[in-house]
Structure 1
Amino acid sequence: MGSSLFYQADNQAAFAKEKTVTIYLTRHGETTANVTNKVQGWSDFPLTKNGTKVASNLGKGLKGIKFTDAYTGNLTRQYRTAKIALNNSNNKKVSIHESSSLREGGYGSFEGDSIATDGDKMAAVYGYQTGDEFMQKAGKDYWNQLQDAYYKLDKENSDNTKLVKTDRAESSADVQKRMTKEIKHIGKTHANKGGNVLVVSSGMSINQYLSGVTDKYKGTPLKNAAVTKITYKNGKVNVNSIGSLHYVNKGAKVNN
């Protein structure tokens, strides 16, 4: 009993010293797969010329905000978005840490497929006729259900591939678990000093993460370089805003 009280007191003392960490959780810039409507997931498609410009605009819109650190998934589109944004926001010296936990959801055998073709396949898992109907009827649960449809079909090996288990599609629970753990880890890592941290991930993984941590989540598709602002303090995550293009639009005006 006594040791339990001491443990609680130690925890309370540790939390009392924590400072607020503001996480700018950002989707990467436009990629070649975005333009050609292909499933990219863990596949490493590069930024387009427009994607580079959007990342630059993001950075210019973030000027005046000092970042203490930056984190990205282990995909080129995520790292390049962060690097370009930091360079254009007067944060060139900020380190970028890569983590596979922040990458996009994995789609296994379906990587590189046409989104339209796969959309209809995934819709059929839930009894819908088309991908558009699926998206409309599923509402804010769409991104999780889409991820789980990829997981189900790949687990059944519907495309008859020789992928090993670790290379096959993830479930939405898998994505949520790794994203939640990593973002909490980032917050805890910087809680002693507080400050701002740039985190660049991907649309599906961010949406699936948000669906499990806030009532503000509506399932709205995230635009390229859209920023979701999160604060971390005393072990708790609070989502302040979702998918804002404020910084991109602000930066674009600098070029005009």
Structure 2
Amino acid sequence: MSFKQRFTLLLATITAGLTFAVGTYRPQSILASSKPVTIYLTRHGETTANVMMRVQGWSDFPLTKNGVKVADNLGRGLKHTDFKAAYAGNLTRQTVTAQEVLRYSGNKKVHVTQNKDLREGGYGSFEGDPIAADNNKIAQVDGYQTGDEFMKKTGKDYWNKLQDAYHKLDVENSQQTKLAAADRAESAKAVQQRMTTELNHIAKTTAKNGGGNVLVVSSGMSINEYLSTMSSKYDGKPLKNAAVTKLIYKHGKLQVTGPIGTLSYVNQGAKMNH
């Protein structure tokens, strides 16, 4: 083969390689991160503390029979949703809700990853108290006479102010307990920060793994406090058990899509169960 022929063959090989590299190769991380992530942020099912109207926070009250039924109906309502991953707080009510939803939605092979940063807001020395017993004392921190007045007058800021009232009184040790500082009531900012950090971590991890749907089960106060920081649609209404708020992660940011705290999936699942 002449020098000219060898040179022509070498040039053709290099050109073909460059065409492949530029035209078809894309790093896997770029491909994965370009796909959307949808988080189904869900409140747990009904608990014994919900029925007894007690402060539960970090305390580990179980689901009632009705709470399991509601979680099952949520699963049925999500029957055609394939979940890439599932996460829950480290409390029984959160983990069991997630497991029931996965089972009845056809995703029972998906493992539930527990993380304490997804648990309910902590109420320290007030844990386990009847809500009615503490209502007025909590309201008076912000200058209100009753719990009802407190909720009505503060509107969408209610849940954050409620969390901060528990925090203020517990730091002052109004309950006269010997709890260590780490076990006392959290501030709203602390709850917001841990929820935001963990949900962003979940979104980024899922995006790197190709995107898809993720089930995340947390609690009413912590979800409310988180949503108050990120959506103009947030109005502070209480979240029902098993209510779902969908979050979309794209362009490096989580945002709410659709209604906040919808029971449409639970209602659909209940109809399917008749």
Q: TM-score, normalised by structure 2?
A: 0.87
Whether the aligned pair in 2 keeps the contact of 1:70 and 1:94 (CA below 8 Å) is yes
d(CA) in 1 for partners of 2:73, 2:134: 32
Unaligned stretches of 5+ residues in structure 2: 1-28
Residue identity matched to 2:234: Y
d(CA) in 2 for partners of 1:126, 1:117: 17
The Cα shift of 1:117 comes to: 1.6
d(CA) in 1 for partners of 2:56, 2:84: 30
Aligned to 1:159: 175
Matched, 1:200 2:229: no
d(CA) in 2 for partners of 1:17, 1:62: 25
- Deviations along 1:211-246, one digit per CA (max 9) or x if unpaired, are 001111100100000000000122111101310001
Q: 2:165 aligns with which of 133, 149, 158?
A: 149
Whether the aligned pair in 2 keeps the contact of 1:187 and 1:233 (CA below 8 Å) is no
Residue identity matched to 1:223: K
Residue identity matched to 1:211: S
Q: Cα RMSD (Å) of the superposition?
A: 1.2
Q: 1:242 aligns with which of 251, 260, 265?
A: 260
Aligned to 1:23: 39
Residue identity matched to 1:218: D
Q: 2:129 aligns with which of 68, 90, 113?
A: 113
Residue identity matched to 2:143: G
d(CA) in 2 for partners of 1:41, 1:206: 12
Matched, 1:126 2:138: no
Aligned to 2:99: 83
Residue identity matched to 2:263: L
The Cα shift of 1:16 comes to: 8.6
For residues 165-180 of structure 1, what are the structure 2 equivalents within 5 Å? Answer: 165-180=181-196
Residue identity matched to 2:50: N
Whether the aligned pair in 1 keeps the contact of 2:32 and 2:207 (CA below 8 Å) is no
Aligned CA distance change for structure 1 residues 16 and 43 (closer, same or farther; 3 Å) = closer
d(CA) in 1 for partners of 2:161, 2:136: 13
Residue identity matched to 1:109: S
The structure with the larger Rg is: 2
d(CA) in 2 for partners of 1:117, 1:134: 15
